[in-house]
Each structure stands twice: as structure tokens, then as C-alpha cells.
């Protein structure tokens, strides 16, 4: 929770000075979607980062990468978008891979809870991506990012206080790691994804994030000697193939939410 808070709070504070002129031009209606995105971002960070304490890096990053599947499902049932047979097949393949990974959880109930939290993280980041796609059509990237990250921090702060999460008193190494998270994944990662959301649909954006699982799994092995379970390999391959099938089929339709 503390990592999630600092990631959002520091991102908002560092970007805020660059958006002063843009904020003056905003009306009240412009705050709605980025505020919703901020709530979803807070839920995403809180669930996904917590999942890393309970399950393996491999399980966590593979399961959270299923966000495009939830984007496709939302488009079908909330936006009444027609879905081709290839999309449904891809969803089934990804679900099968998810089941394999959950079935190979070696940490018992705790690991299964971590897997569930990672899936919730995928659902919430899918909503976050959809909100960004709509909001960025009329809102500048700095204004959008500051509001989203700021609302995320405001949501997370009382949760941290209520749960007794330590917000300071860290070692220099821990502060350095948090600074790395803010500069890398937050400012360069999330902000860049939100930047391109104006021109690229959410599904395509999250397909680009498919590079994350193999890199994260390799780093976890090198840094923590964390070897994934055998079922992660076929399960992870099924998830990535399913996501690719869904995304490829959905690119061949009118742009989402237009």
C-alpha cells in the first residue's frame, strides 16, 4: 500500500508544475474521467503490488497482463461491440492459461490469494486504460496524469493509515527503489501509455506490455533465484497467445468508443 501511495503521490507532485496553464482552462466536467481513472489506478496498484508479496513474480505479471481480455469483454457487454469468433477463442485460451497458472500455485492458499489479486489488478487496469482512451481525446497528458495520479494518492493515503502501512522511515536503498519506480514505471511507463492513448486503442496499448512477463520472469530468476513452476510455461504461453488473438481480431473493427 505504501509503495502504491508513493508511486501516485510523487508522480503527481513532479508533473504538477508543468500543467498550471492547462488546469486554468479546464471545466468541472473535465475532472470526471481522470478522477475515475485515478480510483481504478489506486485499486490496480493496491491489488497487484500486494499480489507480489503472496505469489511469484511469474504468476503476478502473467495474470495482470490479461487486461486486454477484460477490455474486450467490457467492449462486448458495456459498449455492445460485436466480437468475432477469434476473440472468443482467444479469451478461452487465455482463461485456460490462467487456470493452469493458478493450479500450479505452490504457495497454497496465500499464493492463490495473490493470483486473485493479480487478476483484480488486471480488471482495474483495463478500466483505467479505457478511461484514459476517452479522457485523453480532450485533455492534455500533463493535466490528465496529474489528476489521475493525485486522485490515486488521495484514495490510497487513508487506506495506508487505516492499515498501519509505514509511509516513511525507510532505508536509503528502499527510498532509492521507490524513486526508481516513480521515475521508470510511473513517469516514463504509465505516463507514456496515457500519452499514446489519444491515438491508439487500449487493447493495442496493453499488447505492447506483453513484453513485461518474460523480462520480469528472467529478472526474478537472476535477482531472487525465483524459478517459476512448470505449469507457468504452458499457462503463460496460453495467456500470451490468447491476448494476441483477441487483440489482432479487435484491431480489425472501428476504433473503440468512437
- The confidence score (pLDDT) of residue 178 equals 96
Q: Are 148 and 57 in contact (CB under 8 A)?
A: no
DSSP 188: I
- The confidence score (pLDDT) of residue 254 equals 46
Q: In the block, which residue shows the cell 473493427? A: 253
Quote the CA–CA distance of 203 and 65 in Å, as a whole number: 11
Question: Mean pLDDT of successive 10-residue segments in the chain (258 residues)?
Answer: 96 89 73 94 96 90 87 79 83 86 64 92 92 87 94 97 94 96 93 85 69 85 87 87 82 50
Q: Are 227 and 55 in contact (CB under 8 A)?
A: no
Residues 6+ apart with CB under 8 A from 74: 126, 127, 130
- The confidence score (pLDDT) of residue 177 equals 95
Quote the CA–CA distance of 63 and 57 in Å, as a whole number: 10
Quote the CA–CA distance of 40 and 194 in Å, as a whole number: 14
Q: What is the pTM of this model?
A: 0.84
- The confidence score (pLDDT) of residue 150 equals 96
Q: Are 229 and 106 in contact (CB under 8 A)?
A: yes
Quote the CA–CA distance of 122 and 101 in Å, as a whole number: 15
- The confidence score (pLDDT) of residue 108 equals 63
Quote the CA–CA distance of 102 and 116 in Å, as a whole number: 9
Amino acid at each position: 500500500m505504501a509503495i502504491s501511495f508513493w508511486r501516485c503521490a510523487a508522480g503527481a507532485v513532479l508533473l504538477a508544475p508543468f500543467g498550471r496553464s492547462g488546469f486554468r482552462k479546464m471545466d468541472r466536467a473535465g475532472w470526471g474521467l481522470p478522477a475515475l481513472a485515478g480510483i481504478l489506478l489506486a485499486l490496480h496498484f493496491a491489488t497487484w503490488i500486494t499480489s507480489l508479496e503472496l505469489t511469484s513474480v511469474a504468476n503476478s505479471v502473467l495474470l495482470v497482463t490479461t487486461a486486454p481480455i477484460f477490455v474486450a469483454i467490457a467492449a462486448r457487454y458495456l459498449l455492445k461491440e460485436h466480437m468475432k469468433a477469434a476473440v472468443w477463442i482467444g479469451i478461452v485460451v487465455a482463461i485456460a492459461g490462467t487456470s493452469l497458472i493458478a493450479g500450479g500455485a505452490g504457495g497454497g492458499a496465500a499464493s492463490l490469494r495473490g493470483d486473485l489479486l493479480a487478476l483484480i489488478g488486471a480488471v482495474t487496469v483495463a478500466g483505467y486504460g479505457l478511461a484514459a482512451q476517452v479522457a485523453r481525446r480532450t485533455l492534455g497528458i500533463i493535466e490528465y496524469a496529474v489528476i489521475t495520479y493525485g486522485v490515486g494518492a488521495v484514495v490510497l493515503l487513508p487506506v495506508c493509515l487505516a492499515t498501519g502501512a509505514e509511509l516513511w522511515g525507510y532505508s536509503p536503498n528502499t527510498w532509492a527503489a521507490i524513486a526508481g519506480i516513480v521515475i521508470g514505471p510511473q513517469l516514463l511507463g504509465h505516463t507514456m501509455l496515457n500519452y499514446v492513448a489519444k491515438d491508439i486503442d487500449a487493447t493495442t496499448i496493453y499488447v505492447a506490455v506483453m513484453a513485461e512477463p518474460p523480462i520480469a520472469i528472467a529478472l526474478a530468476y537472476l535477482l531472487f533465484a525465483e524459478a517459476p513452476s512448470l505449469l507457468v510455461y504452458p499457462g503463460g504461453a496460453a495467456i500470451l497467445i490468447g491476448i494476441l488473438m483477441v487483440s489482432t481480431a479487435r484491431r480489425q473493427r472501428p476504433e473503440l468508443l468512437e
